[in-house]
Amino acid sequence: MAFLDIEQAVFTYPGRLPVVDGADWHMQAGEFHCLLGRSGCGKTTLLKLAAGLLRPQSGRILLRGQELAEPGPQLGFMFQAPTLLDWHTVLNNVLLPVSLQRKPTPQDETHALRLLEQLGLSAHAPHYPRQLSGGQQSRVALARALILDPPLLLLDEPFAALDAITRAELQDDLLRTCREHGTTVLFVTHDINEAVYLGDRIALMHGGRIVDDWAIELPEPRTQDMRHGIVFNEYCARVRAAMEKGVA
Ligand SMILES: Nc1ncnc2c1ncn2[C@@H]1O[C@H](COP(=O)(O)OP(=O)(O)OP(=O)(O)O)[C@@H](O)[C@H]1O
C-alpha cells in the first residue's frame, strides 16, 4: 500500500471521450511527485480526482488505503492564481483554512506567522494582498496551503505566472518547506526543467494514462546550480524525448 494509490481511474466529462482513461499511479509518503504531460492531456483532471474534487466513474483513489470520498483537512491545495481574499490581511488569508473549521487560536496565529517567516513574509502579515507582488502573493497562498500541516499537498502549475528568478526562489521555498514538514507533494506542470528540479519522481501522462514514472536521483538538497550540470540536463533530454514520442 502506498500513501496515495490511483487504480485504473476513469473520468469522462459529459459528452466527451474519457480524459482519464485507466490511470494507475502510486505515490509513497514524503515524496515529491511531479505530473508532467502535454497541454490538455488531463493533468488537472487527474489532480482533481486525487483531491476528491471529482469522483472517478470507475477505478479507485485510495489515501492510506482508504477510498477518498471528498476533500478534507488532509489535503492542501495551491492553484495557478493565488486566489487570496482581498478584504483579509495576509495573516488572515493564511489562517483561512482554520477559520473555515473553527475560531483560530493564538497557537494558530503563531503557526501562521512562523510559516510567513519561513517564506520571508513576516513584515507583510498585517498587509492586504493588493499591497504584495505576484511572487509574494504566491508565497501567501503556499503558507495558506500548509497551515493545517496537510500530509498531502496538491499544486497545479502554481508558479506558471511568475518570472524565472522569482519562480526559482519559490521552488526552493517549496522544497525546503515540504521537506521540513514531511509533506507528500503532487505537483502538476508542463515545464520539464521544473519537474526535474523539484521531483523525487516524475510521472508522465499521455492518452489519459500514466505512461512512465521515473525516479530523479539528483543530490539533496537541490540547488539552482544543478540546472547547469550534465546529469540534470540528461534527465531533461530523456523526459523531453519521451514527451515528444508520447510514450516512454
Ligand atoms: N469541466 C470540463 N468540462 C468539459 N471538458 C473539460 C472540463 N475540464 C477540462 N475539460 C477537457 O478535458 C481535457 C483535459 O483537461 P485538463 O485541464 O485536465 O488538462 P491539462 O493537462 O491539465 O491541461 P493544461 O496543461 O493545458 O492545463 C481538455 O480537453 C479539456 O478541454
The tens digit of pLDDT for each residue in 81-122 reads: 888 999 999 999 999 999 988 999 999 999 999 999 988 899
Ligand 1 mutation target, pool 11, 16, 57, most atoms within 8 A of CB:
16
Q: Model confidence over 163-203: pLDDT tens digits?
A: 888 889 889 989 998 998 899 999 999 899 999 999 999 99
145 plus 156 within the same structural domain:
no
Question: How many C-beta atoms surround the C-beta of residue 40 within 10 A?
Answer: 10
111 plus 90 within the same structural domain:
yes
134 plus 85 within the same structural domain:
yes
pLDDT at residue 247 greater than cutoff 60: no
pLDDT of 1: 75
Mean pLDDT calculated for residue range 14-25: 96
105 plus 40 within the same structural domain:
no
Does the Cβ of 129 fall within 6 Å of ligand 1? no
Range of the domain at 101: 81-149
118 plus 162 within the same structural domain:
no
Q: In whole angstroms, what is the distance from residue 111 CA to residue 177 CA?
A: 13
35 plus 156 within the same structural domain:
yes
Does the Cβ of 41 fall within 6 Å of ligand 1? yes
Question: How many C-beta atoms surround the C-beta of residue 32 within 10 A?
Answer: 23
Q: What's the CATH code of the domain at 29?
A: 3.40.50.300
69 plus 120 within the same structural domain:
no
Cα 45 to ligand 1 centre (Å): 6
Q: In whole angstroms, what is the distance from residue 195 CA to residue 172 CA?
A: 13
Mean pLDDT calculated for residue range 5-22: 96
pLDDT at residue 240 greater than cutoff 90: yes
pLDDT at residue 248 greater than cutoff 70: no
Cα 208 to ligand 1 centre (Å): 11
Q: Which residues pair with 153 in a beta bridge?
A: 76, 185
Q: Which three cell numbers stand for residue 46?
A: 487527474
Q: Model confidence over 24-36: pLDDT tens digits?
A: 999 999 999 999 9
Burial 55-65 (b: 16+ CB within 10 A, else e): ebeebebbbee
Does the Cβ of 18 fall within 6 Å of ligand 1? no
54 plus 160 within the same structural domain:
yes
pLDDT of 73: 72
- Using CA atoms, how far residue 218 sits from 36, 132, 209, in Å, is 18, 34, 26
Ligand 1 mutation target, pool 45, 47, 157, 206, most atoms within 8 A of CB:
45
- The residue behind cell 491545495 is 77
7 plus 54 within the same structural domain:
yes
* Residue 99 lies inside a defined structural domain of this protein: yes
DSSP state of 131: G
**Phi, psi values for residue 62, rounded to 5°:** -120, 125
Predicted-assembly ipTM surpassing the 0.90 threshold: yes
Is the omega angle on the peptide bond into residue 158 within 30 degrees of 0, that is, cis?
Answer: no
156 plus 221 within the same structural domain:
yes
HSE-CB at 204 with a 13 A cutoff on CA atoms is 22
* Residue 56 lies inside a defined structural domain of this protein: yes
Q: Model confidence over 44-86: pLDDT tens digits?
A: 999 999 988 899 999 999 999 988 877 777 788 888 888 899 9
Cα 181 to ligand 1 centre (Å): 31
Q: Model confidence over 112-157: pLDDT tens digits?
A: 999 999 888 999 999 999 999 998 999 999 999 989 989 999 999 9
232 plus 159 within the same structural domain:
yes
* Residue 8 lies inside a defined structural domain of this protein: yes
* Residue 172 lies inside a defined structural domain of this protein: no
- Nearest CA to 181 out of 211, 151, 219, 138 is that of 151
* Residue 177 lies inside a defined structural domain of this protein: no
Q: Total domain count for the chain? A: 2
188 plus 134 within the same structural domain:
no
